[in-house]
Structure 1
């Protein structure tokens, strides 16, 4: 490409924010059991300790307990906001991956998490999707009402120029026509899902000594994905309920999260207008998430068709491993990279394998390392990830 046609990103606004604490916002209320149930339903996580009152009461938890993936639901912005501050004119943002560290404190009804967020920095790379692309990192620390550390997350966003992504059309117009599944195919999908559901419904935890490198986890399937599933997922994130959060910017502090990020006007929150009409700050009706369920907007940002959420994919990853690990299992660390969204009409297969046993880990206990891969019905990889998991001794 000649210099005169070279595509460049204006990153000057990002440079001034690197290393700063950002995004001062918090949810108003503690979570309740129905918040947890709604999350489990949206993520298609039928583990009964997260929704079945009688089953959970008779378990070691003594009642409903949240999945580890629920920490992201108790956050404003599910980790993406500190990875998306700063204005890049003509840009849009999608989620690129998440790394989580957990600290042994499970979330139960009545808990309230508060966050501390920081913009870590960014890398500029060339991608086939959009040419010059920014991979921006944001850190979030989650503590409960007792001041106990629950989790830390490092999120990676992918920021790119809308116009360049549309020129390249990596996600083509065929995405606008979702696949239709026959009754026979849907029956097979349901059977795979049911077999996975029954694989550890009682929550038994494997013994560390019995698990071997090369062991395969039962296959799970999620989907077919649709506008219904995308909206169900979106509305399970507490921050997306009208009036569920507030800005809590300390006096004398500046919060770049309220500023123009360079998105298209119809893909930008209108924080003033939302004070009267909450749809204008809703994200789904109007704002950066509306492309997930609006075909025209999806095509305008280079996505080709309606698509799902990276934060949901990471939750699928955590929930899948936690189901296999049982009630006494615990995920101490997880790392995922998103290769492609889950598009409307597709299904997602989730497969896992034990790739390492670590007798002496940095978490103070033996752990097994599980590798996870998510694929479509056509074998396309949409997520790769790993997790270090404590099992029974």
Structure 2
């Protein structure tokens, strides 16, 4: 028996608190306050989405919307726990979590300043596989339905969480051997990145929608770039999720469920848990970044304790990037209807992320009752490493 086979045998996930929760509704956090214009602006700043319809009051007033409108991606920003709550259910001792992917369905109800979203959550299912990254690894899925204060359906999300033993991932050090040292960008390289970013943001700044008959299979969308990523950018992203602001949410539980999962400890490895009692006095003790499971995103030493080589980005952010990119191309008269994104690896500190997309199919008649184009999108780092693969259906006007 090889050493790796012996290690795989000795590392096991304790799922005794998981199985009886499959298929059941769960609770979680509910934001107290409605979405404000500043919340929308904070979100698009963090997602590096300079579409003026989301932040420029004068531009937005002259548009068909008559005022600011939130990007479709904000649904996850107005949720508790980055949308991963229904996929992180059950106590697994000494575990950690990273995002594995997201699937979204959007129903055409926009979010505006003054709107408030409410969530229904359900733990869908899970499977366990042996991975090079951490040995025995759980891939769990959970569903969230987002409705506004009028009961109108805004979006549905199915999130995939990857739960694993932090010590096992740390021992294997997969990313230590793969990503190399933090890239040092030359001034010329940074100027080229900024040039590409500017060209993308100007490519459809006015929000003009391409017509269904004007696009063809094989057409490529304008390339986008985000980065270089940094501790500052990761912190900005995290702080745009409103549940991280002190006192913004309260706990809610589903009715009629025995032992509902609401805010129990999912088994975070030592040094990554919350201090729920201490947070009543010092709310920093459960905000996730100073204390909690997200601290590895901005702390290279803590990142190493959960199998990451250095500070790294958020899965929910990558999902939002995909939605924003596609929605900006679709313009004011189009919209993203569906995305399915698989997260292959994180965006590490010092890297940049490139977006490349192509139309692969067209449907004049669809199950949505509207014309759709299907788009394949890939996010890669500067060295060609795949971070995300995404398939999406985007509505365009006739």
TM-score range, shorter chain: over 0.9
d(CA) in 1 for partners of 2:69 and 2:264? 37
- Residue number in structure 2 paired with 1:50: 54
Deviations 1:355-379, CA, capped at 9 Å, x for gaps? 1101221111110001100000000
The range that moved more, 117-126 or 175-184, is 175-184
d(CA) in 2 for partners of 1:169 and 1:257? 33
Please give the secondary structure, in 2, of the residue aligned with 1:193.
helix
Alignment pair present for 1:207 and 2:211 = yes
Contact 1:355 1:371 survives alignment (8 Å): yes
Residue 30 of structure 1: CA displacement? 0.3
Residue 95 of structure 1: CA displacement? 0.5
Residue 174 of structure 1: CA displacement? 7.8
- Residue number in structure 2 paired with 1:330: 335
Deviations 1:90-134, CA, capped at 9 Å, x for gaps? 211001100011111010000000001010110111211111110
Residue 5 of structure 1: CA displacement? 4.2
The alignment yields a C-alpha RMSD, in angstroms, of: 1.5
Residue 173 of structure 1: CA displacement? 7.0
Distance 1:124 1:57, change over 3 A: same
Q: TM-score, normalised by structure 1?
A: 0.97
The range that moved more, 317-326 or 252-261, is 252-261
Which of 215, 221, 224 is matched with 1:217 structurally? 221
Deviations 1:185-242, CA, capped at 9 Å, x for gaps? 1100000001111111111100101110000000000000000000000000111111
- Residue number in structure 1 paired with 2:383: 378
Residue 255 of structure 1: CA displacement? 3.5
Please give the secondary structure, in 2, of the residue aligned with 1:233.
helix
Residue correspondence of structure 1 range 1-393 to structure 2 within 5 A: 1-2=5-6, 5-172=9-176, 177-249=181-253, 253=257, 254-393=259-398
d(CA) in 2 for partners of 1:3 and 1:219? 43
Deviations 1:324-357, CA, capped at 9 Å, x for gaps? 1111011111110000000000000011100110
Residue 267 of structure 1: CA displacement? 0.6
Contact 2:37 2:68 survives alignment (8 Å): yes
d(CA) in 2 for partners of 1:339 and 1:4? 22
Contact 1:24 1:255 survives alignment (8 Å): no
Contact 1:173 1:305 survives alignment (8 Å): no
d(CA) in 2 for partners of 1:89 and 1:348? 34
d(CA) in 2 for partners of 1:338 and 1:5? 27
Deviations 1:20-69, CA, capped at 9 Å, x for gaps? 11123200000011100110010000000000010011011101000000
Contact 2:143 2:159 survives alignment (8 Å): yes
Please give the secondary structure, in 2, of the residue aligned with 1:41.
helix
The count of corresponding residues between Structure 1 and Structure 2 is 393
d(CA) in 2 for partners of 1:119 and 1:250? 12
The range that moved more, 168-177 or 191-200, is 168-177
d(CA) in 2 for partners of 1:53 and 1:313? 27
Contact 1:176 1:306 survives alignment (8 Å): no
d(CA) in 2 for partners of 1:237 and 1:129? 28
d(CA) in 2 for partners of 1:138 and 1:238? 21
Contact 1:174 1:304 survives alignment (8 Å): no
Distance 1:284 1:173, change over 3 A: farther
What 5-or-longer segments of structure 2 have no aligned partner? none
Deviations 1:127-170, CA, capped at 9 Å, x for gaps? 11111110000100100000011011000000011121112111
Distance 1:387 1:252, change over 3 A: closer
Residue 252 of structure 1: CA displacement? 6.5
Please give the secondary structure, in 1, of the residue aligned with 2:17.
helix
Residue 175 of structure 1: CA displacement? 5.7
d(CA) in 1 for partners of 2:135 and 2:297? 22
